[in-house]
Amino acid sequence: MTKKAIITSDLHYGITSPSRLLQLKDLMLRHDPSVIIIAGDIGEPAHDFKSCLELFSDIHCPVGVVIGNHDLYNTAGFNHSEELWNEVLPGIVKECGFVWMESESIVLGETSFIGSMAWYEYSSRAPELDHLPDDFFFASKGRFVSDGIYIDWEREDKALAAELLERLLKRLKKAQEDPSVRRIVVVTHVPLFPGQMVHYRSDNAYADAYFGNFTFGKEISRFSKVTDIVSGHTHRGIDKVIGNIRVQVIPSDYRKPDFIVIGF
């Protein structure tokens, strides 16, 4: 019998109502999932993050959590976003009995689910802006995306992205070398391929730099057991095959949460 993984993201509790998220949960549970993964932008400030996860606390299957950029917005009086990243958010995830996927994988049968927030390092910038140095995108972030205003730590984007990639590659290598694992599903908040980027005429080209990490995509593609990559962040659904990997973006949007189903 085929098992099912349900992956959702961009729930934005506080903008999206609890009643709408409970409707989403009911729809998800109709698929009788063997695992659920929530791929970031769950709720900010932190009490909304916790309130959102508590809606799923009665689910009787493993629940993995990947956080998103909005979850790091320090809008509730913490010392800084570093406290959210290192202590508050992983503490809430574990308190709810869920899996903090930045450090743990979920293995069911022959399938390993491996997650990361991923992070942008400007490799997704619009081609016409390739002439601009990385320092420009770091210094100007607050002009183009809210992360530059509400995330208040000392970390540089490229350093954080490199750290998260190193962690992810270690878990991927372990799964790749494990003979009991035949399939790897990677879940990230930030998209990893140009083919995951959908443009509208009104988009600000400068903002592209903060919506993907194509270095992650290239590195993950080297692992032959990776069959699926699922991301959130853009709110714009995508489902296509790139190389030998099925690549999707979850079509969740503000007040319109959604999910995808993967059989395994």
Cβ density class 135-157: b for 16+ within 10 Å, e for less: eebeeebeebbebbebbbbeeeb
- 201, pLDDT greater than 80: no
- 32, pLDDT greater than 80: yes
Two tokens, residue 210: 């903060």
Q: Residue 92's domain is classified under what CATH number?
A: 3.60.21.10
What mean pLDDT comes out for the span 86-108?
97
User: How high is the pLDDT of residue 159?
Assistant: 97
Name the residue type at position 229.
I
Kindly indicate the confidence band of residue 224, based on its pLDDT and cuts at 50, 70 and 90. Answer: very high
Q: Which helix or strand (DSSP H or E) is residue 177 part of?
A: helix 157-177
User: How high is the pLDDT of residue 251?
Assistant: 97
Q: pTM of the entire structure?
A: 0.96
Using CA atoms, how far apart are residues 26 and 33, in angstroms rounded to an integer?
Answer: 11
Q: Which helix or strand (DSSP H or E) is residue 186 part of?
A: strand 183-188
- 202, pLDDT greater than 80: no
- Total tally of structural domains belonging to the chain: 1
Residues 120/48, Cβ–Cβ less than 8 Å: no
Range of the domain at 86: 4-263
Residue 46 burial (10 A CB sphere; 0-12, 13-18, 19+): buried
User: How high is the pLDDT of residue 193?
Assistant: 96
User: pLDDT, tens digit, for every residue of 243-255?
Assistant: 999 999 999 999 9
What mean pLDDT comes out for the span 30-57?
96
What mean pLDDT comes out for the span 160-181?
98
Kindly indicate the confidence band of residue 1, based on its pLDDT and cuts at 50, 70 and 90. Answer: confident
- 60, pLDDT greater than 80: yes
Tell me the percentage of the chain whose pLDDT exceeds 70: 100
What mean pLDDT comes out for the span 159-174?
98
Name the residue type at position 81.
S
User: How high is the pLDDT of residue 57?
Assistant: 92
Name the residue type at position 185.
V
Residues 137/122, Cβ–Cβ less than 8 Å: yes
What mean pLDDT comes out for the span 174-186?
98
User: pLDDT, tens digit, for every residue of 115-158?
Assistant: 999 999 999 999 999 999 999 999 999 999 999 999 999 999 99
What mean pLDDT comes out for the span 180-208?
92
Q: What count of Cα atoms within 13 Å lies in the side-chain half-sphere of residue 146?
A: 10
Using CA atoms, how far apart are residues 227 and 247, in angstroms rounded to an integer?
Answer: 9
Residues 63/41, Cβ–Cβ less than 8 Å: no
Mean pLDDT, the chain, whole residue set? 96
Using CA atoms, how far apart are residues 36 and 261, in angstroms rounded to an integer?
Answer: 9
